[in-house]
A and B are shown apart, each in its own frame.
Chain A
Amino acid sequence: MADKISKKWVLQFPPNQVDKPIAYHLVKDFNLVINILQASAHEEKESFMIVEVIGRKKDIDNAFDFLQTQEIEVVDMEKGITLNVNTCIHCGLCVGLCPTTALTIDPKTHEVCFEKKDCVVCDLCLKYCPVAAIEMEFLK
């Protein structure tokens, strides 16, 4: 168990690859434990799946190579939140919801400010922003 590691991947599927049993192959052929965190499948446009994979490094590397051969783009990622300043109306709803002090209102200008280092990516602001100005980004 000690030699097992965990990685989070964003798998991006072209439309013609949506129906492939990828999760099955990752478990059966590469002995990985997978946890599907988020998924969106469309037959007509690109789909994605965010998975956490747990297993031995060698198996994870092999699985990575396998996915590449299946025309599936694999992005090794960390999640992050971004505030779109062009869409934000500075209403401050997110400030009351933020469990840390990552989102605050500037006491002088009353602008909503976002401090990325304090963000724990709890997604509350993302779900409730009334103008969808808060977005999830996936960092390589």
Chain B
Amino acid sequence: MILTYEQLLSEVKLNGLKSISSKIQAVALGVFEPLDHVRLTMGFKSLGLKPFSAKIQNVPLSVQGEREFILTPTTLSLDDAMNTHFPGDFIYGGAFVLEDLMNHKPLDFRVFGYPTDLMDRQELRKSISVDELHYGYLDVELRKELHPTAYVNGSDSLKFSENGAVKNNFQSINFKTSGLLQSIIDLASHVETVFMAGTTGILSSLGESVVRFSGDFLRMDTLYASGLSLKGYGVMLALGLGALIRVEGNVHILDQIISNEDRLYKVVDIAAQKELSRIPFKQFRDSMVVIDDGAYKVGSLTSLYLAERIARRLAGQE
């Protein structure tokens, strides 16, 4: 039997851990949220010149060797005048290039380089789509966050964080991680299958507090990836990740799965940079948080809807 994390939690709550431990083979976890450390390495078969700089849709790329480029989702378009001096609308950036590539859209690609050592610098400009890439792999790095944080804003004006716009005068609370991400990191050594935006990835590195997954970008599904433009903050990529955690023979790992009631979030006033309280994750999931008798609406950038869909897909229920 394979259960999603949520199904497991409700089953344990209803009948206790013992009732299920002998029957369960794996637990499926899914998340869909903005990720900070993502990079796409893409390569061409040949370019005909030795590159020293490159841009795609006017978003700068990092050049690696003779025909390989790296794109990060937070890189901004060079002609985004609104954001030259202060954070503005962030209409386009690396995350949107990634999304456009997944959608097989033709994109403007410019490379500057030298055809040979003795010839002048030249520009190679052409329209490319993901279909012309020789390879592309997406690396995602997850860092263990001992105290997941949610933000509230005590000032008079709207403030911005990686969690999006946080309303003024303590009117709302914003959070990012679904909590499940932490479970993936905690249990990474037991990961059997990694879901990366519609395709199967691999666990490429397992450290004390950092876990890296890598997946074939050319097979990723745009349904599970989305460029986000956070007004006043920046551009990020929301990605669907999932993991099938093997339980059979390792029943003890069920003890490491933390319930939504027990996983506590640090609530920080983003204006004063002061911790206000610690709140169970369950309240965040229920869209209303209570601090000192005051109830606050909760906003997030984490799609629990898509997270559960990924988990059900991994568990073979969808």
Decide if A and B are genuine partners. yes
Whether A95 pairs with B305 at a CB distance below 8 angstroms is: no
Interface centre among B229, B286, B304 (most CB of A within 10 A): B304
Give Cα distance in the complex from A103 to B297, angstroms: 11
The listed residue (B285, B299, B305, B306) touching A97 by CB distance below 8 A is B299
At the interface, yes or no: A89 with Cβ under 8 Å from chain B?
Answer: yes
Complex interface: chain A residues within 8 A of B166 (CB): 96
- Min Cβ gap B202→A in Å is 25
Q: CA separation between A95 and B289, bound complex, in Å? A: 13
Residues on the B chain within 8 Å of A131, using CB: 226-229
Complex contact B305–A96 (CB within 8 A): no
Could you say which of B113-121, B141-149, B167-175, B261-269 contacts chain A?
A: B167-175
Are A96 and B297 interface neighbours, CB within 8 A? yes
Q: Are A130 and B301 in contact (CB under 8 A)?
A: yes
Residues of B with C-beta under 8 A to A105: 287, 304
Of A96, A111, A130, the contact of B173 (CB 8 Å cutoff): A96
Report if A95-B297 is in contact (Cβ < 8 Å); known contacts: A109-B305, A130-B164. Answer: yes
CB neighbours (8 Å) of A91 from chain B are 33, 164, 228, 238, 300-303
- List of B residues within 8 angstroms of A130 by Cβ: 164, 228-230, 238, 301
Is residue B68 within 8 Å, beta carbon to beta carbon, of the partner chain?
no
B104 within 8 A of A: no
* Residues from chain A with Cβ under 8 Å of B139 in the complex: none
Q: Which residue of B lies closest to A132 (CB)?
A: B229
B164 touches A95 (CB 8 A): no
- Do B299 and A93 touch (CB < 8 A)? yes
Contact, CB under 8 Å: B165 / A93: yes
Of residues 171 to 189 in B, which have CB atoms within 8 Å of A's CB atoms? 172-174
| Residue among A89, A97, A112 making CB contact with B165, cutoff 8 Å | A97
- Measured between beta carbons, the chain B residues less than 8 angstroms from A128 are 164-165, 230-231
Residues of A within 8 A of B56 (CB): none
- Flag whether B281 is at the interface (Cβ < 8 A): no
> Which residues of chain A are within 8 angstroms of B305 by Cβ–Cβ distance?
90, 109-112
B173 in contact with A92 (CB, 8 Å): no
* 28 contacts across the A-B interface (CB closer than 8 A): A89-B32, A89-B303, A90-B303, A90-B304, A90-B305, A91-B33, A91-B228, A91-B300, A91-B302, A93-B164, A93-B165, A93-B299, A93-B300, A95-B297, A95-B299, A96-B173, A96-B300, A105-B287, A107-B287, A110-B303, A111-B305, A127-B231, A128-B165, A130-B164, A130-B229, A130-B230, A130-B238, A130-B301
Task: Please name 7 further chain A to chain B contacts, defined as beta carbons within 8 Å, in addition to the given A96-B174, A110-B304, sorted by A numbering.
Answer: A91-B301, A95-B297, A96-B167, A105-B304, A110-B285, A110-B303, A110-B308
